[in-house]
Amino acid sequence: MSGAVRRCIAAIVVGVTLVSPLATAAPWISPGDVALRHDLQRLVDAGLLSSPILSWPLPWHDVLRDLEAANPANVPPRLAPIVERVRARLRVSTQTDTVRWTAELDGATEPEQLRTFATAPREEGEAAIAADWMGDRFAWRLEARVVADAEDGKTFRFDGSYVAANLGNWVVSAGYLERWWGPGWDGSLILSTNARPLPALAIDRLSARPFDVPVLEWLGPWRFSTFMGQLESDRDYAHALLFGMRAEIRPLPSLQLAASRTAQWCGEGRPCGFDTFTDLLFGNDNDQPLEEQPGNQLAGFDVRWTWPGGGVPLALYAQAIGEDEAGSMPSKYLGLFGAEVWGDTAGWNWRARVEYADTACDFVNANPQFGCAYENSVYTSGYRYRGRPIGHAMDGDGETTGFGVVMVDPGGRSWEVGLRHFALNREGAIAHHSLVPAPATLDDVTLAHERSGPWGKIRLVLGYADSSSREPTLPQGLRASALWTLDWY
């Protein structure tokens, strides 16, 4: 981490200590828990939660407010177990003035290369210890992790650590937070948890309460997030920065909309001044000489629409992210589409989905542009962090179709099934592709089970993959992993 970023983090930590307490510094719901996301989405679609939930980490604040306000008489019997499970997580996660400790052990026959929303080991062996605390205006977490045979050479890591403080309805934070932007379950085209979290300064809206101005109240509950993170030193421009901002609204109970934007800029040997950043912010880049262009930008939109009234348990979602700009609007789009259905059977609740994604530019054309997505003529290391794509795990020029089911029994134990087919680096146009240097196909099936008890929580995963390539970066044959965590006070 450069000295400039260290000084910024220190300034935030010192500055927020001078601010009077205004609200509880509620911690976030980190991405990775599929069963919890399923439960929250059931409550959103039933109208019991009011805020949009297409951006992670997700503040507990609105979940706590809505469930406290919910009249038990208005909760359908089929949703009562879900409400109780979420409330149980709330009680554990939002305790104040108490240090919570977490121990974690992970093991895998091989690291997960094609990561989805679900938590998975990044290396063959990992051990971590963490402590977190929340007060009236501050929250912090310190996590130390050691890994075996680190893919990026970093044996010791502080991923998941942060310090945060509330300033009114905003949370200012500094640390290593994982982020997932978008409605997809198998991937996000712009920001996913595929790459390790980078150190970043961030500002997030705490409560998604609507505007009280008549001309804007139609937007409904809304959230906004922005961050400035630092990329690694071992790349074309050492310590380049990654800027991101995202806004999402829920104008109708059945409709969630979001707009996202990220940009690589600065770095050793590149212009880093305020003028450069304003050029980047307002899109003044493509009309400049290559060496003076401020950065590499991605931007686009996503949407999730639920069948109105809940009469049919169906939702459709989509994400379109542009790799370039034309007329001040994103262009050369990558695309992701999906559909979800859900229900209740004999005390079990479940969700099934199908999802398609294409990471070739202008993917809707008969002849899309290959060698374009997650690549840049200035930042030649690409839209990657420590060798992993920051967007979709299959990297550029990929195409995937997936099917998934998550089932939760009355005791809160979950089972997941995933089937995915990939066509990777389809034309071989990306020589430094993170997975394969030449075209390849992959078929993958995954079975996962998760349960909790007094001894902690365990997640077991069994998978099988069949690939046309023998690259070591692709799964082949049987694989298995186990994750165990234990929390105590």
Q: Per-residue confidence of the chain (489 residues) as pLDDT tens digits?
A: 454 444 444 444 334 333 333 344 458 999 999 999 999 999 999 999 999 999 999 999 999 999 988 888 889 899 999 999 999 999 888 889 999 999 999 999 998 999 999 999 999 999 999 999 999 889 999 999 999 999 999 999 999 999 999 999 999 999 999 999 999 999 999 999 999 999 999 999 999 999 999 889 999 999 999 999 999 999 999 999 999 999 999 999 999 999 999 999 999 999 999 988 988 888 777 666 667 778 899 999 999 999 876 567 999 999 999 998 766 688 899 999 999 999 999 989 999 999 999 999 999 999 999 999 999 989 999 999 999 999 999 999 999 999 999 999 999 999 999 999 999 999 999 989 999 999 999 999 999 999 999 999 999 999 999 999 988 889 999 999 999 999 998
Q: Which pLDDT belongs to residue 1? A: 46
Q: Would you list the domain boundaries of the chain? A: 3-488
Instruction: Supply the pTM of this predicted model.
Output: 0.93
CA distance 382 to 235: 9
**Other beta carbons within 10 Å of 263:** 22
Pick the CATH number of 3-488 from 2.130.10.10, 2.40.160.130, 1.20.1560.10, 2.30.30.100: 2.40.160.130
